Amino acid sequence: MQVEIPKLLDNQYIFPDPKEASEHGLLAWGGDLSPKRLISAYRSGIFPWYSKGDPLLWWSPNPRLILIPSEFRVTKSLKKSRKKFSVKFNSNFSEVILKCSSLRKDTWITKEMIRAYETLHVMGYAKSVECYEEDILVGGLYGVQIGSLFCGESMFSLVRDASKVALWSLCEVMIKNGGSFIDCQMPTDHLKSLGAKEVYRDKFLKELESNRDKEVKLF
């Protein structure tokens, strides 16, 4: 039986129940990328993801991919690679999101998305981790912090292992400062190889509810 995907009204900031998403995780469409709507989405376990020219789509997949910081997989080669880089936190958000957008052929990180997340960055929600080699930005990631969890959005790498080092550094700072887990959203083999694991949506939503109101300063 086909699930009818509801359209969000312009003034509708409360999303449908994530458990009502389609088999592929699509929950709703329409609305906008205003800070109020984005924060409501992340607090509900929902995120935007769509291609240029498509309507704004909102997702809550099942299963969900998460990474427990202490379970990040560190290989000998990664330990060796890390020595080449220096890492900074939240010091060059705009460049990170631009790199994540420009380096993908069919990117969902449109100009509209970039503006929306830069606004969230100014508000203190969207954050970045940057990896430098000889003072040149060569890798990084960005996402949205909700309570004690970090909702990862995208990462990029111009040289081998740069994005992995950024993710490793994020895991370390979360362990140090009381972070709970990283929401990796859609399952990928790459992130699974780094220690991320699939969980049922019900479990994810329960963990989200337990951690979204915690006052934690990750960085």
Q: Are 42 and 11 in contact (CB under 8 A)?
A: no
CATH of the domain at 72: 3.40.630.70
CA-CA distances (angstroms) from residue 218 to 10, 47, 77, 144, 201?
Answer: 33, 21, 27, 11, 25
Predicted confidence band at 3 (pLDDT cuts at 50, 70, 90)? low
Q: What is the largest CA-CA distance in the chain?
A: 56
Residue 82 and residue 25 share a domain: no
- Same domain for 41 and 103, yes or no, is no
- Both 119 and 149 in one domain: the answer is yes
Nearest to 25 by CA among 55, 63, 61, 65: 61
Burial of 123 (0-12, 13-18, 19+ CB in 10 A): exposed
Which DSSP letter does residue 108 get? S
Q: Given strand 57-59, what is the order of strands in its sheet?
A: 7-8, 26-30, 57-59, 47-48
What's the domain count of the chain? 2
Does 218 map to a domain? no
Q: Are residues 16 and 124 in the same domain?
A: no
0.85 exceeded by pTM? yes
Structural domain contains residue 1:
no
Instruction: Tell me how far the alpha carbon of residue 126 is from its chain's centroid.
Output: 9
Which domain does 49 fall in, by range?
A: 7-62
Beta-carbon contacts of 155 under 8 Å, excluding residues fewer than 6 positions away, are 100, 139, 140, 141, 142, 163, 166, 167
121: how many CB neighbours lie within 10 A of its CB?
Answer: 19
Is residue 198 assigned to a domain? yes
* Residue 216 belongs to some domain of the structure: no
pLDDT per residue over 173-192, tens digit each?
999 999 999 999 999 999 99
**Shared-domain flag, residues 32 and 85:** no
The verdict on 55 and 127 lying in the same domain is: no
Q: Verify that 130 and 57 share a domain, yes or no.
A: no
**158 and 206 in a common domain:** yes
Residues 51 and 138 reside in one and the same domain: no
Do residue 58 and residue 71 come from a single domain? no
Report how far apart, in Å, the C-alpha atoms of 203 and of each of 28, 166, 169 are. Answer: 21, 27, 26
- DSSP H or E run through 190: helix 189-193
Per-residue pLDDT tens for 107-132? Answer: 789 999 999 999 999 999 999 999 99
Taking phi first (over 0 means left), then psi (-120 to 50 degrees means alpha), and beta for anything else, what does residue 195 get? left
* Inside any domain, residue 41: yes
pLDDT digits (tens, 9 = 90+) for 39-81: 999 999 999 999 888 899 999 999 999 999 999 999 999 999 9
